[in-house]
Chain A
Amino acid sequence: MSKIKTFKGPGLRTENIPQAKHKKNKWRNIRWFVLLFFNILFFASFYFDIQILEGSLSASRFLGFHLIDPLAAFQVILSSRILMVNLVIGVITIFIIYLMLGGRTFCSWICPYHWLAELGEKIHLILKHHNKIKEHAFDKKIRYIFYGLFLGLSFLTGYTIFETINPVAIISRSIVYGPALLLVWVFALLVFEVVYSKRAWCRYFCPVGVSYQLIGYVSPLRIKWDKEKCSNCKRCQNVCLVPYVLHNSVNKDNSMYIDSGACTRCGLCIDICDDEALSFGLKYLDKII
């Protein structure tokens, strides 16, 4: 029944496949440091009044430059029917930054909800390992429907409805301005993810990430896969936060660079790879440089 054609790379080292523990966490540590650093910077900019990164993840100013979450900006434009110059500047700045950094990089390197979800995933996997829970999957295309749905709703109702329930914004505001009652909703989401469906919000629903995903399709910064070094052990797909993104390369040998915008450039696959077959690379630009 498997339609997946398994690619047998050169230098297949079968004896290496079932390797239990892996201690190398270089990129994860760097990534968590960056994530905590920026979220603490948001907090400190207000609390200690150091004014470097003012605002929250919906909209902020970094040393005076407007940064605005694209989804929040689109909602505001659709619901208020006003096109503010600051909004446009903020969205373009974000677009340029993430075009250089790889789109969904936002998710795994900045988003505080993603960090909580990553911890939740660990608990989920432990529970699953002990057969306490069953894994449930949804269709990953739901997120595009959600994206369109919430944009449509803000146009129809004249309210930025998604911003009322946006867990990313809720956590970000709670970090900067103190906890709010809506954290209960965020907590409920996390519980749902832990006991029912692994990282469900980020994988199937979050429309915030979809904006960044669209940037990710064109961004040159990608995970690069070296076919010559790969022993095809598939452990990268076990640790990958969005396992199907590696499919086209590692399984099908169709692409040297991970071609999905859904890849969060988290680097977990690079850490786990013993063959040094995976690394950060720049599509289109590697050859020129």
Chain B
Amino acid sequence: MTDKNNKTLMNRRRFIKTSTAIIVGGTTLAGLGATPLLRSQTVLLRPPGALEEDRFLASCIKCGQCLQVCPPQVIQLANITQGFAVGTPYITARDGGCILCAGLPCVLACPTGSLNHDLSEGKDAQMGLAVISQPDTCLSVRGKNDIPHRINQLINGQTDTTNSRHVITDMFSRLTSSEKETVINRFSLTDLKADTVNALVRKLENEDLIWLKHFAKSAEFSMVSCRICFTECPIKSEKTILFQEKTDPESEQTAIWPVIQKSCVGCGVCEERCPTAEASITIIPRKKWMEVQG
């Protein structure tokens, strides 16, 4: 064995020792140090049944099976921008709220119980709470009907064809029989069945929409202010939103407000469907009704 060989061997050993020490020490420090930093700053809206946030992050295995089985496909996986929450499921209510499907497939799919298997019905979920975050734009507070507003959005080209179908179907379903006659005559239709309406939606011109908007403003239903958040709510067994007289704490004006009740689970469908440009009703994830009251 030559000296040169021996020296290289020693160098190599030293390299292995120091590099091992650096790597192991570095990871430990980085792991412990990064823990508080990597906690998510924003509270995310979790799928139904999610454990309390710290325990949820501890137990979620980040496999995405809840996302795979979600019928309305509203669950997304978080990115590294959300720190430790990376790979965990969340819902962006405005893009699509949880419809609390029967059987809660996401909960059943969860292999770790991060989505608690004790939850069997959507109405018992505690995802968050809806609040009227923008009362000045809320159509209901302003006493306005939603249909003219939504048709206006169609005219301005803010929404897609699926939405136009929703709006027109919604509108027609609220018409009285004499008003229906007027619509049938205006567009020379045979009836107002789903197929006919779908065909009509596809060839609606701008002037037709303008006519529909004016017609909606004069129709009988326009007397009733917007109740989309209530009618679209997936919880039907209890009333989640009551329309009550309330004084705005800021402007001190009294109006009929949508008042969120205890039975709200924070699924986010109201935020998704809210017809105003920016949702007037939003979900505060993890918020409980009791916290707001007391």
> Does the CB pair B16–A139 fall under 8 Å?
yes
B224 adjacent to chain A (CB < 8 Å): no
Q: In the complex the two chains form, what is the Cα distance from A205 to B69 in whole Å?
A: 34
Q: In the complex the two chains form, what is the Cα distance from A54 to B63 in whole Å?
A: 9
- Cβ-neighbour of B63 out of A59, A158, A164, A181 (below 8 A): A59
Q: In the complex the two chains form, what is the Cα distance from A146 to B60 in whole Å?
A: 21
- Cβ-neighbour of B59 out of A76, A173, A176 (below 8 A): A76
Q: What is the total number of residues of chain B having a CB less than 8 Å from a CB of chain A?
A: 43
A167 adjacent to chain B (CB < 8 Å): no
B20 adjacent to chain A (CB < 8 Å): yes
> Does the CB pair B20–A157 fall under 8 Å?
no
Query: Which A residues are CB-close (under 8 A) to B96?
Result: none
Q: In the complex the two chains form, what is the Cα distance from A114 to B10 in whole Å?
A: 32
A86 adjacent to chain B (CB < 8 Å): yes
Query: Which B residues are CB-close (under 8 A) to A58?
Result: 61-63
> Does the CB pair B38–A72 fall under 8 Å?
no
> Does the CB pair A79–B59 fall under 8 Å?
yes
Query: Which A residues are CB-close (under 8 A) to B20?
Result: 138-139, 142, 145
> Does the CB pair B28–A66 fall under 8 Å?
no
> Does the CB pair A149–B27 fall under 8 Å?
yes
Interface class of chain A by DSSP: helix
A181 touching B32 in the complex, CB below 8 Å, given contacts A58-B63, A139-B20: no
A153 adjacent to chain B (CB < 8 Å): yes
Shortest Cβ distance from residue B75 to the other chain A in the assembled complex, whole angstroms:
10
Q: Which residue on B lies nearest to A61, using beta carbons?
A: B65
> Does the CB pair B31–A153 fall under 8 Å?
yes
Q: Which residue on B lies nearest to A157, using beta carbons?
A: B35
Which residues of B (19-75) have their CB < 8 Å from a CB of A?
19-20, 23-24, 27-28, 31-32, 34-35, 38, 54-55, 57-65, 67-69
> Does the CB pair B16–A56 fall under 8 Å?
no
Shortest Cβ distance from residue A207 to the other chain B in the assembled complex, whole angstroms:
11
Query: Which B residues are CB-close (under 8 A) to A180?
Result: 77, 79-80, 86-87
- Cβ-neighbour of A159 out of B35, B111, B112 (below 8 A): B35
A137 adjacent to chain B (CB < 8 Å): yes
> Does the CB pair A169–B62 fall under 8 Å?
yes
> Does the CB pair B24–A142 fall under 8 Å?
yes
Q: Which residue on A lies nearest to B87, using beta carbons?
A: A173
Q: Which residue on B lies nearest to A162, using beta carbons?
A: B31
Interface class of chain B by DSSP: helix
> Does the CB pair A138–B65 fall under 8 Å?
no
Q: In the complex the two chains form, what is the Cα distance from A60 to B66 in whole Å?
A: 11
Q: What is the total number of residues of chain A having a CB less than 8 Å from a CB of chain B?
A: 50
Query: Which A residues are CB-close (under 8 A) to B5?
Result: 1
Shortest Cβ distance from residue A3 to the other chain B in the assembled complex, whole angstroms:
11
A194 adjacent to chain B (CB < 8 Å): no
Chain B 122-137: CB-based contact to A (< 8 A → 1; otherwise 0):
0000000000000000
Q: Which of B19, B24, B58 has the most CB of A within 10 A?
A: B58
Which residues of A (147-193) have their CB < 8 Å from a CB of B?
149-150, 153-154, 156-161, 163-164, 169-170, 173, 176-177, 180-182
Q: In the complex the two chains form, what is the Cα distance from A176 to B64 in whole Å?
A: 9
Q: In the complex the two chains form, what is the Cα distance from A80 to B5 in whole Å?
A: 51
Shortest Cβ distance from residue B100 to the other chain A in the assembled complex, whole angstroms:
22
Query: Which A residues are CB-close (under 8 A) to B15?
Result: 136
Q: Which residue on A lies nearest to B86, using beta carbons?
A: A164
A221 adjacent to chain B (CB < 8 Å): no
Chain B 1-16: CB-based contact to A (< 8 A → 1; otherwise 0):
1000100010010011
A60-B63, A139-B16, A181-B81 known; 18 other A-B pairs, CB under 8 Å? A55-B68, A58-B61, A61-B111, A72-B62, A76-B59, A76-B60, A80-B59, A84-B111, A87-B111, A149-B28, A153-B28, A153-B32, A160-B60, A163-B61, A163-B62, A169-B62, A170-B87, A181-B80
The 7 closest A-B pairs by CB, nearest first: A59-B63, A80-B59, A80-B58, A79-B58, A1-B1, A58-B63, A55-B65
Can you list 24 A-B pairs with a CB-CB distance of less than 8 A? A58-B62, A59-B63, A59-B112, A60-B63, A61-B109, A73-B61, A76-B61, A79-B58, A80-B59, A82-B113, A86-B113, A138-B20, A138-B23, A139-B20, A142-B24, A149-B31, A158-B54, A159-B58, A161-B31, A161-B34, A161-B84, A164-B86, A173-B64, A205-B23
